[in-house]
Structure 1
Amino acid sequence: MEKVRNVLFSRLQMRLNELGYMTAMVMLISTLSVGFILHLCTITQNEREFLNREEEQDRKESLLVLGMKDTISYITKSGSAATEQTYTYEEGSVTSVIYLQSTDELKIKLNAATQTGTRIAATFYYNVVKGKVTKWGEELG
């Protein structure tokens, strides 16, 4: 049975080869294979870029949160207002500028830069009496 199947397959293969279809089929299969591999490479590259952007966004957000915490800590320890502080972290650096908004509230502007040079800015308002952040906003730049 196996021998009959092999004989039929080889006769079919020889007939297709005589008619010139084998070359076309091999070229079609090769083209589809190369196209599939290129498609996989493109998908992999896009995923890699997406993950890099996500990591950069996480770095920026963590810089702002660390800068906010250190600025609040500085305000509670020193009690001073209207100063400028710079904090350096593993992810980058943050500069905070403290403005006296009212007797109870301070306006703090944070400017952060990651190690890769990406910049982000945020402004938040801190109520000294309550010891709470009342407003928070980010301006990307």
Structure 2
Amino acid sequence: MTQSHSQQGSALMLSLFIIIVLLLLGSALVKVLSTSSETIAQEVIGTRALMAANSGMQAHLQLTFPLNGANACPADDTYDLSGVDGLDHCRAMVNCNLYNTHEMVNYYRLTSTGECGSSAIADQSIGVVRSSRTIQVEARSL
């Protein structure tokens, strides 16, 4: 039982083809998993930025409407939220604008921008994943 010359090496070529196909499928799967984990990290940092914006807004609203009843638009402020659990490497920049007064009622527009990073945020940070979210609230005095 001898094989003909035309069939010699065909098993080697078939196994080489299968190995190449499996290698391509494996590398595609690794790429999909890598992209998926980056997307999840970006979503988490974005959610943290939204919570930072909410925290800054709450702090500024408390200054705008204190319990003693004296309403006033406080100066623009930046809140460093690094000491708050879950908001490491986050900050919130908040500004207030008294945009209308009608019949002794003041109308305020507050804007809060939360910014978070995957590590400490510096002015020229390179390689840090950053996310920013902005919220706006309009409020009036009583």
Q: Compute the TM-score of the two structures, normalised by the length of structure 2.
A: 0.69
**Which consecutive residues of structure 2, in runs of 5 or more, have no partner in the other structure?**
122-129
Q: Given residue 80 of structure 1, which amino acid in structure 2 is its aligned partner?
A: A
CA displacement 1:85-138 (0-9 Å, x = unmatched): 221213311121111122331011223322355344333211222xxxxxxxxx
1:72 corresponds to 2:61: yes
Partner of 2:134: 121
- 2:79 is aligned to 87
Percent identical: 10
Alpha-carbon distance between aligned partners in 2 of 1:71 and 1:16, rounded to the nearest angstrom: 87
Matched letter for residue 11 of structure 2: M
- 2:123 is the alignment partner of 1:110: no
- 1:76 is displaced (CA, Å) by 1.8
Which ranges of 4 or more aligned residues in structure 1 deviate by more than 4 Å? 14-18
> How many residues are paired up?
117
Q: By how many angstroms is 1:73 displaced?
A: 1.4
Taking the aligned partners of 2:81 and 2:49, their CA distance within structure 1 comes to 11
The question of whether the paired residues in 2 share the 8 Å contact of 1:83 and 1:99 is answered with: no
Give the drift of 1:46: 1.1
Using a 3 Å threshold, how does the CA distance of structure 1 residues 16 and 47 change in structure 2: closer, same or farther? farther
Q: Is the 8 A contact 1:67 1:87 kept in 2?
A: yes
- Which amino acid is 2:140 matched to? N
Greater shift, 70-79 or 57-66, is seen at 70-79
Secondary structure (helix, strand or coil) at the match of 1:68 reads: helix
Give yes or no for contact 1:82–1:98 (8 Å, CA) kept in 2: yes
Scaled by the length of structure 1, the TM-score of the pair is 0.69
Higher relative contact order structure (alpha carbons within 8 Å, sequence separation ≥ 6):
2
Q: In the alignment, which residue of structure 2 is the partner of 1:97?
A: 95
8 Å CA contact 1:86–1:94 kept in 2: the answer is yes
Distance 1:102 1:47, change over 3 A: same
Question: What is the root-mean-square deviation of aligned Cα atoms in Å?
Answer: 2.5
Name the counterpart of 2:28.
39
Higher radius of gyration, 1 or 2: 1
In the superposition, relative to structure 1, how do residues 16 and 98 fare at CA in structure 2: closer, same or farther (>3 Å)?
Answer: farther
State whether residues 82 and 100 of structure 1, in contact with CA within 8 Å, keep that contact through their aligned partners in structure 2. no
